[in-house]
Amino acid sequence: MTSETAAQGDPVLRLSGITKRFGALVANDGISFDLARGEVIALLGENGAGKTTLMNILFGHYSADAGSVEVFGQTLPPGQPGAALKAGVGMVHQHFTLADNMSVMDNILLGTEPLWRLGLGRRAARARVAALSRDFGLEVDPDETIAALSVGERQRVEILKALYRDAKILILDEPTAVLTPQETNALFLTLRKAVALGLSVIFISHKLHEVMAISSRVLVLRHGRLAGSVVAAETDRQKLAELMVGAEITPPAPSKATPGAPLLVLDRVATEPQGQRPGLHDVSLSLRAGQITGLAGVSGNGQGALADLLSGLALPTEGSLEIVGERVTGWSPRAAIAAGIGRIPEDRHRTGTIADFTLTENAILETYAQAPASRRGWMDWRAARERAEDIIAQYDVRCPGPQTRIRLLSGGNMQKLILGRVLQGNPRVIIANQPVRGLDIGAVTYVQNQLIKARDAGAAVLLISEDLDEILTLSDVIHVISEGRLSRGFPRGTMKPADLGQWMAGQGFDHAA
């Protein structure tokens, strides 16, 4: 046991020699560590370093090939999530585990009582969920179905689901990936109160400033092995980043843009609402060649409606859409692809990939009917596989090979394949919706540099992100979206985070009106 752990009392959790293989891939290689009562450990590592696999072994989703897990001194039987839950282990998964056709309330209660008793004690359960929502800043309609929620709202339900079960050990796998800074701060305040009362937390995040803010110790995995353990107060972001990737990290520094002609123009466009999420209202936007246009906003305020419209998944009810000066009719996903629009979707699982398809099949999802994947109406699987291999190599997609089913990859590696699929097609307009969500610092830097490179090559890039630092760093011009309304454009360097925050809350729109 390390000295910093011992100082906080006996361990509530001990992992000893955990090893896990998937064929030739060694995901975890002899990993050992302890977690004390009232301690927050951050788990860092590149995509594919083995973080999620290790936590799935702890929670019982996977069985280790070697090693053991002890909770409060008792060895957990491998591969039994029920045993982990009973022992007081809760997990907020990086990949959603929600029933789309059920309500928020039913998803939270599911598994806490037999199905025939779900209707009993509902008033008390609702009151408790409401209190948790309020205290943690995780507001969501308990009667709404999961299918109607945004990605950010789904993540809130996942967190509420774990908190409802009174976990003594809480695993948080990228819990703030879709939360606003305000929601993240509220979550951290509550976690600190809970930790002071004895809750123990394993916090997995790629956001180094969050790791520094919430953890007492940081464990770093690299290629499935424990590369280091450091006290958070005795390190900094740069050192952690270098420990993660084993090399120095240089953040992107885009030069001043030289915008060209408008490639895509919206003129006073409106769209229908999407369930509880607003549609667009009187939106005008110009995406210019050689320019990155940033879109900031709180999750669920119309970003999805805008991305769907530009990708051909939705039609305007008012206004017009022009591409390279020509008004668009007969708009569809096929027409968008033909027009040279590349789409990096917000949700890599539901709309970015097909889980049971291989990497090769996913690499050609949008271009399977075109050369080189198609020749004279027949699939050329050798060419398709070569395309997948190129993406795997260029974007460092960590996987056993191109014939691997994509559901077996980590979320970050799925995202890398999607990015490669889009950027290798040299689109003239790129809709990048949360393009670095779930990526490690090395991959984030690479992807952001690729977007800058595409801009410098003449592409028009729309960057949709809930990370204000990313928006402020990469964008040549920034718009804010709130309740389906779009602000005017703010040139780079003219707005501070606090100013954008006011617009995100709708205050700037009211003042402008």
The answer to whether residues 459 and 407 belong to one domain is no
Give 405-442 as a DSSP string. Answer: BGGGS-HHHHHHHHHHHHHTT--SEEEEESTTTT--HH
Listed residue (181, 274, 100) closest to 467, CA to CA: 181
Which domain-ending residue is among 221, 245, 269? 245
pLDDT at 12 over 90: yes
Q: How confident is the model at residue 3 (pLDDT cuts 50, 70, 90)?
A: very low
Amino acid, res. 417: L
- pLDDT (mean) for 250-256: 83
pLDDT at 199 over 90: no
The answer to whether residues 103 and 213 belong to one domain is yes
Amino acid, res. 27: A
The answer to whether residues 173 and 220 belong to one domain is yes
Mean pLDDT (the chain) is 87
Q: Indicate the number of domains in the chain.
A: 3
Q: Which two tokens stand for residue 422?
A: 């889009």
Report d(CA 99, CA 262) in Å as an integer.
42
Residues 266-298: b if buried by 16+ CB within 10 A, e if exposed: bbebbbeebeebbbbbebebbbbbbbbbbbbbb
- pLDDT (mean) for 338-363: 92
Report pLDDT digits (tens) over 54-86: 988 998 989 999 999 999 999 999 999 889 988
Residue 129 is assigned to a structural domain of this protein: yes
Q: How confident is the model at residue 393 (pLDDT cuts 50, 70, 90)?
A: very high
The answer to whether residues 455 and 404 belong to one domain is no
The answer to whether residues 34 and 181 belong to one domain is yes
Cβ proximity of 435 and 387 under 8 Å: no
The answer to whether residues 415 and 443 belong to one domain is no
Report pLDDT digits (tens) over 135-183: 776 788 999 999 888 766 887 888 888 888 888 899 988 777 666 666 6
Residue 216 is assigned to a structural domain of this protein: yes
Q: Are strands 477-482 and 490-491 parallel, antiparallel or unpaired?
A: antiparallel
Residue 347 is assigned to a structural domain of this protein: no
The answer to whether residues 136 and 214 belong to one domain is yes
What is the predicted pLDDT for the residue at 221?
A: 92
What is the predicted pLDDT for the residue at 45?
A: 86
Report d(CA 73, CA 55) in Å as an integer.
18
What is the predicted pLDDT for the residue at 513?
A: 44
Cβ proximity of 91 and 171 under 8 Å: yes
Q: Which domain holds residue 436?
A: 251-340+428-513
What is the predicted pLDDT for the residue at 133?
A: 85
DSSP state of 103: B
Report pLDDT digits (tens) over 96-136: 789 989 999 999 988 776 555 555 578 888 899 998 888 77
Q: How confident is the model at residue 195 (pLDDT cuts 50, 70, 90)?
A: confident
Cβ proximity of 171 and 58 under 8 Å: yes
Report d(CA 164, CA 171) in Å as an integer.
14
The answer to whether residues 414 and 295 belong to one domain is no
> In whole angstroms, how far apart are CA 77 and each of 41, 59, 163, 189?
23, 10, 23, 34
pLDDT at 21 over 60: yes
